[in-house]
Structure 1
Amino acid sequence: MPRKDPLETNDLKPRRPIPAAFGTDEVFWAAWLYYEQGQKQDQIADQLGISRASVFNLLQKARDEGVVNISIDPSRIARADLSLRLCELYGIDECFILPERKDAGALHRQIGHLGARVLESRMSSDDIIGVAWGRTVLALSQHLNTVNQPNVTIAQITGSSAATFDFSPVLCTSNLAARLLARCVNLHAPGVVSSPHVKEILMAEPAICEHFALLEHCSKAVFGVTQLTGETLLVTGGFMSQAEVEVYRDLGAVGFASGYFFAEDGRIIRSEFDDRHITMPLDNLRAVPERICVGGGPGKAVAIRGMLRAGIASVLVTDAATARDVVNGG
């Protein structure tokens, strides 16, 4: 018995004339309507006077004969490969990489935007999310979709500083909570106090003890990363003086994230400043299941390498150029 052509079907409608522009090429016509005009297969079936099954066969033949070539965007493959290499090299769970863009928008806002989508995709209805401060963290909060998450708690990780109003811990925490319509718990203590003795007294206060007990139950943490070379937000934001930063640099520190300084090899660097700094204990931070760092841009690759080696982040949201620099320097 002769084999039936796959394009032959039991179409009951008379086939429509092929437009002159397509000659006698019905395959080309169907492919044009589907891929260039964006029509659905049932619309094409009506236009050609054939069944939907025949349209499917025509489109398959278009691919088989090379009329249509379908390929995956290579830039996406490159980003996926880069992400996997970075995760493998530094032992983190996931890395989300912002595509390279030609627009002139501030990079920290673009990374924050991507970070918002990452956080939204991972959120649970009973999350306790610890939040630090910084421009990119604030941008993340500003790009969150407004949703009703009344059982989610947003808690401030580090003490406050009036000098960092534009991206302060209080503003980052409260803005994120407002976007999610979630419970907001601010830390009612300064980020840096005058002496270790003052810190000791504050940490013994019942309200402060209660806050840090809450932080022990965080399911997620969100924070940025700061380099110590050139202009740093630690100084421009009023968090600490240039002299205090220089002490850490002299000790080998290359960056700061979520309350802690670290060297490029991942060692935590400490000075007397830590004895006056009120922030979530490092062991508690490392115990948070999902620790999401949002940050990137020129000069931050060394700081990000140190932060990842220190085990501070388990998820990284950054840009493509920074991700390449982090991997190539590893």
Structure 2
Amino acid sequence: MSTRPDPEPSLQDEAARAGWLYYVGGLTQDQIAQDLGVSRQRAQRLVSRAMAEGLIHVRLNHRIGACVDLEKALTARFGLTRCRVAPDLGPGSDGVRAIAPAAAAEFERFLRMSDPLVLALGTGRALRGMVDAVSDGIAAEHHRLVSLIGNIAPDGSASFFDVVMRLADKVRAPHYPMPVPVISSTPEENAAFHALPPIRRVVDLARQADVIFVGIGQMSDDAPLLKDGFVTREELDAMQAAGAVGEVAGWVFRRDGRYLEVGTNRRTGGVRVEPGLDRPAIGIAAGATKVPAIAGALTARIVNGLVTDEPTARAVLALAG
């Protein structure tokens, strides 16, 4: 029986990527260091290791080569600022498990920056996987973490996949949860929550975020919003009829990436990620059912960066044409 490759990035993985960027991509060692988030000296050692271990021939003799090709194709097609494609773990594998280490590495790049940042986060399984994969021991007290989405479930309990408090406990950063329902019962109730001064301060902070990390949820029959009890079957049917294919931070959008003006969007708490932001807005998502949602979010530039896996990357490119 063959074994599946480990999703955790190894030293050889880093050397393979550095070698590909140097010998095939034509990047300088300074550019490679910036791309990988390492020192120039480490980038130089990684390039040397790639050659010494025989990873570089006419083409890269390593599974990461296909990932880099897909990253380049997605970046060119959608004008992305950042893109990471994790290796395929095989049929039936968990997409979150595949992409969590790569997503954590992307997030750690910002955590390690010396200038203070406001880091805004959505919720969901992919974001929780990313947070769980973030390395221990990163000092991030100079950054602030803020939630983009409400953290109150329909029964009044805390939303299970809220990640801001979990991450703050791990990196010891000040954090600002969004203490409103994910989706309120009425637009008036939602407006009343947002009129409260403490909520307004959190909303203002989220809107000023320097960096955004969000999951991308599908609006098919297995929609996370339905499975987690935030929308009813009837509400989902109505939004599907209006063209809904995906959601980011609870805000539902169509195939072309335009947000719906009907349905639960009139009652969604938190802050909507506006298309075309001039700062990093990175989507973390993988899986066949998410492909239309990812393509829509990329097309409208709700997100301008992406962490996904090989099968999803190929499917998104095929759908986009």
Q: How does 1:94-109 map to 2 (within 5 A)?
A: 94-102=82-90, 106-109=94-97
Give the Cα separation in 2 of the matches to 1:161 and 1:94: 31
State how far apart, in whole Å, the 1-side matches of 2:317 and 2:176 are.
37
Equivalent residue letter for 1:306? G
Answering whether residue 144 of structure 2 is matched by residue 136 of structure 1, we say no
Q: CA deviation at 1:133?
A: 0.7
Aligned residue among 274, 279, 287 for 1:289: 279
Shift of 1:98: 0.5
Most deviating of 71-80 and 138-147: 71-80
Decide which of 295, 304, 308 is 1:314's aligned counterpart: 304
1:156-201 Cα offsets, whole Å, 9 max, x none, are 11112336857433xx111111221111111121122222222222
CA distance in 2, matches of 1:264, 1:192: 22
- What is the rounded CA distance, in whole Å, between the counterparts of 2:109 and 2:185 in structure 1? 41
Is residue 248 from structure 1 mapped to residue 239 from structure 2 by the alignment?
yes
Measured after TM superposition, the shift of residue 78 of structure 1 is: 2.4
Matches within 5 A, 1:172-183: 172-183=163-174
Per the alignment, residue 36 of structure 2 pairs with none
TM-score, reference length from structure 2: 0.75
Q: Which amino acid aligns with 1:151?
A: H
Q: Counterparts of 1:89-238 in structure 2 under 5 Å?
A: 89-102=77-90, 106-123=94-111, 124-125=113-114, 126-146=116-136, 147-162=138-153, 167-169=160-162, 172-238=163-229
Residue 69 of structure 1, CA deviation: 9.0
Task: Measure how far apart 1:265 and its partner are.
Answer: 2.0
Query: Highest CA radius of gyration, 1 or 2?
Result: 1
Please, which moves more after superposition, 118-127 or 303-312? 118-127
Tell me, what secondary structure is at the counterpart of 2:244?
coil
1:100-154, CA deviations, whole angstroms, 9 ceiling, x for partnerless residues? 2249753212212220011112332412111111011011111111212111111
Question: Is contact 2:215-2:284 (8 Å) kept?
Answer: yes
The answer to whether the Cα contact below 8 Å between 2:180 and 2:270 also exists between their aligned partners in 1 is: no
SS in 2 for 1:96: strand
| Counterpart position of 2:64 | 76
Which one-letter code corresponds to 1:82 in the other structure?
L
Shift in CA distance, 259/173, structure 1 to aligned 2, threshold 3 Å = same
Structure 2's unaligned 5+ residue stretches are 1-50
SS in 1 for 2:128: helix
Alpha-carbon deviations, 1:67-117, whole Å to 9, x = none? x89522254332222111111112221210011224975321221222001
Q: Give the deviation of 1:252 after TM superposition.
A: 0.7
Structure 2 CA distance, aligned partners of 1:144 and 1:281? Answer: 25
Instruction: For 1:136, give the aligned amino acid.
Output: A
Contact 1:161–1:168 under 8 Å retained in 2: no
Q: 1:110 and 1:78 mapped to 2: Cα distance?
A: 15
Letter in 2 for 1:303: A
Question: What is the CA-CA distance between 1:272 and the residue it aligns to?
Answer: 4.0
TM-score normalized with structure 1 length: 0.73
Unaligned 5+ residue runs, structure 1?
1-62
Look up the SS of the partner of 2:149 in the other structure. Answer: coil
Determine the C-alpha separation between the residues in 1 that align with 2:98 and 2:160. 16
Q: How many angstroms apart in 1 are the aligned matches of 2:276 and 2:261?
A: 17
Q: Which stretches of structure 1, 4 residues or more, deviate above 6 A after TM superposition?
A: none
How many percent of aligned residue pairs carry the same amino acid?
Answer: 23
304 and 281 in structure 1: CA distance in 2 versus 1, 3 angstrom threshold = closer
Map 1:31-42 to 2 at 5 A: none
Question: Against the structure 1 CA distance between its residues 81 and 210, is the aligned structure 2 distance closer, same or farther, given a 3 Å change threshold?
Answer: same
- How far apart are the structure 1 equivalents of 2:262 and 2:141? 40
RMSD of the alignment, in Å?
A: 2.3
How far apart in 2 are the matches of 1:77 and 1:70?
A: 10
Matching residue's letter, 1:118:
E
Q: Tell me if 1:303 matches 2:300.
A: no
Q: Which of 269, 280, 295 pairs up with 2:260? A: 269
Residues 31-58 of structure 1 show CA distances to partners (whole Å, capped at 9, x for unaligned) of: xxxxxxxxxxxxxxxxxxxxxxxxxxxx
